[in-house]
């Protein structure tokens, strides 16, 4: 006697990583949230965060390590070609938060401290901060507050 298992459609959010090489900025990475059964009102994918150029190059080794763990390889990505990779929610949360917080920053030391702090966060904390940054009226204030919390003033140059 065989038993068939009926699987419910997943209600988990759907995320994707969009990667491209641009002649001006080099590698550019973006996280997007797609449509899922729990967000039927969304007809188009929603931009979460992106990073490119100098700021991405400062944390590229960290990002590539996370992508490698998720079996995503960006090796051999031709100029001006975009590739899309599905990513799980936890990776999307961490990369989205990292990209949003680091995008306007300039100080290498402060960027390192912020990246270390985000890597040390639990999933719920990272989700909280990314949600605050995406859904608040003034997301810059939320991101500034997070930077203040993660940057150690004793190590500031």
| pLDDT 10s digits, 83-117 | 999 999 999 999 999 999 999 999 999 999 999 99
Position 146 in a domain: yes
Check pLDDT > 60 for residue 157.
Answer: no
Q: Into how many domains does the chain fold?
A: 1
Position 125 in a domain: yes
Residue 70: CB partners within 8 Å, gap ≥ 6? 87, 88, 91
Check pLDDT > 60 for residue 156.
Answer: no
In which band, very low, low, confident or very high, does the pLDDT at 6 lie, cut at 50, 70 and 90?
low
Q: Which helix (H) or strand (E) holds 27?
A: strand 26-34
In this prediction, residue 136 carries a pLDDT of 87
Position 41 in a domain: yes
Name the DSSP class of 146: H
Position 120 in a domain: yes
Position 136 in a domain: yes
Position 49 in a domain: yes
Q: Which domain holds residue 102?
A: 14-150
Residue with the bigger pLDDT between 157 and 31: it is 31
In which band, very low, low, confident or very high, does the pLDDT at 121 lie, cut at 50, 70 and 90?
very high
Give me the mean pLDDT over the 42-68 stretch.
Answer: 92
Q: Which helix (H) or strand (E) holds 62?
A: helix 53-69
Check pLDDT > 70 for residue 44.
Answer: yes
CA distances from 139 to 89, 126, 134, 146 (A): 21, 15, 7, 11
Position 97 in a domain: yes
Position 155 in a domain: no
Predicted TM-score of the model (pTM): 0.85
């Amino acid at each position: 006697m065989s038993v068939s298992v009926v699987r419910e459609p997943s209600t988990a959010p759907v995320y994707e990583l969009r990667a491209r090489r641009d002649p001006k900025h080099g590698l550019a990475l973006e996280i997007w949230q797609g449509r899922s059964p729990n967000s039927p009102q969304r007809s188009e994918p929603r931009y979460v965060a992106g990073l490119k150029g100098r700021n991405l190059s400062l944390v590229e080794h960290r990002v590539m390590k996370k992508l490698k763990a998720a079996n995503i390889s960006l090796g051999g990505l031709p100029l001006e070609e975009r590739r899309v990779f599905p990513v799980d929610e936890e990776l999307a949360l961490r990369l989205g938060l990292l990209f949003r917080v680091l995008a306007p920053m300039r100080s290498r030391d402060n960027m390192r401290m912020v990246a270390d702090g985000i890597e040390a966060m639990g999933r719920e904390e990272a989700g909280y901060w990314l949600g605050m940054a995406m859904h608040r009226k003034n997301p810059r204030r939320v991101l500034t507050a997070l930077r203040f919390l993660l940057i150690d003033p004793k190590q500031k140059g």
